[in-house]
Structure 1
């Protein structure tokens, strides 16, 4: 478990009686993992600060076997997607329910392909354009 998820666990999950189980490591670049949180299926990723844009960038894709990467699908066993964000002085976590990911076009559906990555905007970032 990386330091961001560990900090969320000790400062929030433990205090709310949320127990992590079935921890599975995925991509090291984004400290990606799958966990169960009180029986709910959660994908966790660390977002990255990029040099030219406000906000933080996070990947959200899977690989089926040795084939190309693809977006997660509404039929995948995922209840929530947790995105950990950090700067030198700030730290937080976005938690997106599956229903929101479908509504926003992040998860693939029968009608539309989802996204492989997106940007999150913590409240400490100031967005200058619409």
Structure 2
């Protein structure tokens, strides 16, 4: 994060999504939720889950209102690495966060620049 000129707070481990190394932190007045995407054996791209539990202990998408300012998805694959830093407003626009009748999503697949020969629906 220091390469970005940010001064991050001490990260707080996320209760859920531990297999994706989930944590939250703050930097320069902004809040962040972070996940590490995983390479999957049968499909190109890198998969990541992000959800929370409701009062009935059921997995649900994050809500726009409660979500931090940005989502950080890190991809590390041997010598290749990169990050997707997505503002909360874009997550709402793309219907990833639950908001006003939008169901939201609990997982996504990310395609860094080194992924090629992608399926046209990717």
Compute the TM-score of the two structures, normalised by the length of structure 1: 0.84
| 1:39-92 deviation line (CA, Å, top 9, x unaligned) | 211000000000111100011111235611110111114100000001112011
In 2, Cα distance between the equivalents of 1:35 and 1:127?
35
Q: Counterparts of 1:103-122 in structure 2 under 5 Å?
A: 103-122=93-112
Q: Which aligned segments of 4 or more residues in structure 1 are displaced greater than 4 angstroms?
A: none
Gaps of 5+ in 2: none
Partner residue in 1 for 2:41 = 51
Gaps of 5+ in 1: 1-12
Partner residue in 2 for 1:19 = 7
**Secondary structure at the counterpart of residue 103 of structure 2:** coil
Which structure features the higher share of helix residues?
A: 1
CA-based RMSD = 1.4
Aligned residues: 118
Compute the TM-score of the two structures, normalised by the length of structure 2: 0.89
